[in-house]
Structure 1
Amino acid sequence: MPPEAGARRRFLAAAALLALPAAASFAQSARTEAAASLRFGVLPVGGAVESRESWTPLLGDLSRALGRPVSVLSVSSYESLDQAIRRGDVDFALLSAKLALDAVAQQRMKVVAQVKRSAGVPAHRAVLLTRKADSPRTLKELLDAPERWRLARGDSRSVSGFIVPQQELFLPHGIAMERFRSELVDTHQGTALAVANGDADVATNNTTDFERFRLQFPVEAARLQVIWESGPTPPALFVVRRDQPATLQKQLQDFLVSYGQARGARGDAEREVLKQLHAPLGYLAQDNSALLSTAALDYQLARQRALNAKWVSQEAREARLERIERSYAQLVAALRGAAP
């Protein structure tokens, strides 16, 4: 064998040996990524354990469809879920419309689906609850003297628990929620219980969660009445981190859209799961433009607050209104430009 051929063979053999660890490392990395748990975040309706149990069947089916584990992070507040998203501890989530808007605008997430609604199904609306046996018995009684009443409300990022009642009802009557005698911030279940048990006089809530409350707490629900109802509110949305592989994002969207749509025993079982999750019609493919109505609500609320606030000068008020207009225009442009 010529010396050059022997040298070349030794060089190739050495190179192959050097490549083996790198190839093994790459293969191990690919296996680790495939096996890594996909982390799902959701706000609990009642308790965190109850929420995890409700989602277990659907997430189990998703795990089998993806061929990787799926874990659930069920937290007790909007703030906790928002912080988990900010830390990167959540890969995809089902969020209220305002929380989804913040996640898309600030935390590099994108919309992939929403809870499906139909013209034949009662729309999800914000409501105000009071006790039947006590004051305030009417909306007028509440609005005439808000400082008399104890309010139980949702987080400031809750569409039905804060944003819609504030924007559609209180601010148009010149009332900020801070004018109430006291405020208790809790989940929709917590606010309803607070009024039913006499710890608050009025609660913000919504038609979907109040119906769920009727089933879980019939005795307490019988003490309550609805004294105000809003127009339809934006639906909850599924969002996913934009840095997740495009193939995974598409798999998630396809799974959600097809869930409960099959015929036969499997479809029947999936539809029962959807009923437990209060999404009997399933889910609809969506993109970031689904958040336009929520952005409009947010804009209207910010503008009403600015108009109702006290300012040192008209110029300061106008400057604030201009910033609100500019920020809203930029957000709308971003949401409309997002790809499905």
Structure 2
Amino acid sequence: MPTGRIARLWHHSIRVAFCFLLSLHALGARAGEPPEHAPPPAKHISALTFGILPIGGPSESLTAWRPMLDDLSRILGLPVHSLSVSTYEGLAQALSEERVDFAFVSGRLALDAVIHDHMQVIAQLTRTNGSRGYYSVLLVAKDSPLHSIDDLMRQPGRLRYARGEVLSVSGYLVPETQLFANRRLDSDTFFTSVTVDNHQNNALAVANNEVDVATNNTADLERFAKRFPDQYARLRVLWTSSLIPHAVVVIRTDLPPELRERVTNALTSYAKGKNAQAELAKLQLIHDISGFTPTGNETLVPFADIEFNLDRRRAYSAQWVSEAAMQARLHKIDAEHQALVRQLMAPTSP
């Protein structure tokens, strides 16, 4: 074959190959790029980080949870690190920044985590006494002249108040909903002064006559009585709320399904097998916990209802340019609540 013809054939082959590559490029099949909307590659998990709801101080919480987390690490075959913060806001930020993989949280924090942070509920704590939940309380000094909520409501602008953060169910949301919002009041303006702290410090503030009234809850109050018996003896419960479901454990939904299932099984079987007594003793270090029961996002419906009622009562007490404007706001609150309940009740993947 003549040399010129070979050269022409070779150049023709190169052009064909080049056109073929261009067509692939036009179809979006470029080498090394995943198809559009393809799921992200599975994460390689070499360790897990557990976020801890602040109970007392951060170091106290870390010490209390560490024995159980060490057991979980051995069961899962993965290091389990812990992150304990001093505030609910700090834990909420850690969840939103994906600095924790699973966490022990209040119902309100869990609600935000499920809605905004790609997490799901996998377990709920159980207590030794078999209770289904706990109660928010208002504390006063034992010798306080306040003996009823009516006594309290007759003292606008005269009393010092200590409450929890806005994400605290028992420290803020429940008393705000059940006591103040339905009276068209706001606790932040009803009292002469308002301080925000954790349950332990708020109880100490009442006992030491630094405030007149403080929020707390029955579970934390039991713990307080053991740690500070003298200060506890100076306290009296002025008001008790309706039942609040126990705290839950949430986990990231972008963790491998097999790992999520293993974590759920490890948690919900803890203190129930051959080492039950030793494991139960470790749980008792935390908060009189007897174990964890499997559950899902539907557990958060009562907390969605709390937010719903609070939003409606605030809408009723706000100033509106017209009745139609208020009704439009109420309609929006109703629609958003119904959509949220449907989301929480929908089945979740393992």
User: What residue in structure 2 maps to residue 156 of structure 1?
Assistant: 166
| Contact persistence 2:126–2:132 (CA under 8 A) | no
Q: Does structure 1 conserve the Cα–Cα contact (< 8 Å) formed by 2:54 and 2:88? A: no
3-state SS, counterpart of residue 209 of structure 2? coil
Counterpart secondary structure, 2:245: coil
Mapping 1:1-340, distance limit 5 Å: 33-34=44-45, 36-116=46-126, 120-121=130-131, 123-178=133-188, 179-263=190-274, 266-339=275-348
Q: Distance in 1 between matches of 2:79 and 2:223?
A: 30
Identify the structure with the greater helix proportion.
1
Count residues in correspondence: 308
Q: Do the aligned residues in 2 keep the contact of 1:130 with 1:195 (CA within 8 Å)?
A: yes
| 1:107-165 superposed Cα distances (whole Å, 9 cap, x missing partner) | 11000000125885384100000011233343322121232111100111111111111
Partners of 1:44 and 1:50 within 8 A in 2: no
User: Structure 2 vs 1, CA of residues 298 and 124 (structure 1 numbering), >3 Å: closer, same or farther?
Assistant: same
Stretches (4+) displaced over 6 A: none
1:146 & 1:106 partners in 2: Cα distance?
A: 37
Give the 3 Å change call, closer, same or farther, for CA 192–119 of structure 1 in structure 2. closer
CA distance in 2, matches of 1:161, 1:192: 11
Shift of the 142–48 alpha-carbon distance from structure 1 to 2, 3 Å rule, reads: same
CA contact (8 A) 1:136 1:201 kept: no
Rounded Cα–Cα distance in structure 2 between residues aligned with 1:237 and 1:204: 21
Deviation at 1:338, TM superposition (A): 3.1
Contact 2:73 2:79 in 1 (8 A): yes
- Which shifted more, 111-120 or 310-319? 111-120
Asked whether the 8 Å contact 1:130–1:224 carries over to 2, the reply is: yes
Greater shift, 98-107 or 306-315, is seen at: 306-315
Deviations 1:90-115 (A, max 9, x none): 11101100010010011110000001
Question: Contact 2:76 / 2:266 at 8 angstroms: preserved in 1?
Answer: no
SS at 2:239's partner residue? strand
Which stretches in structure 2 are left out of the alignment for 5+ residues? 1-40
String of CA shifts for 1:177-213, please: whole Å, max 9, x gaps. Answer: 1211111111111111111112211001000001100
Instruction: Report which of the two structures shows the higher radius of gyration computed on alpha carbons.
Output: 2
SS of structure 2 residue aligned to 1:268 = helix
**1:249 deviation in Å?**
0.7
For residue 293 of structure 1, report the CA deviation from its aligned partner.
Answer: 1.2
Q: Quick check: 1:111–1:237 contact (8 Å CA) kept in 2?
A: yes
CA offsets, 1:10-66, max 9 Å, x none? xxxxxxxxxxxxxxxxxxx99x934x3211111221111110000001100010011
Would you say the 8 A contact 2:178–2:241 is kept in 1? yes
8 Å Cα contact 2:134/2:217 also seen in 1 = yes
**Partner Cα distance (1:198, 1:119) in 2:** 32
**Percent of aligned pairs with the same residue?**
43
Instruction: Tell me which moved more, 172-181 or 47-56.
Output: 172-181
Q: Residues 117 and 316 (structure 1 numbering): CA distance in 2 closer, same or farther, change over 3 Å?
A: farther
Q: What is the TM-score of this pair, normalised by structure 2?
A: 0.84
Q: Alignment RMSD, CA only?
A: 1.9
Aligned residue for 2:290, secondary structure, equals coil
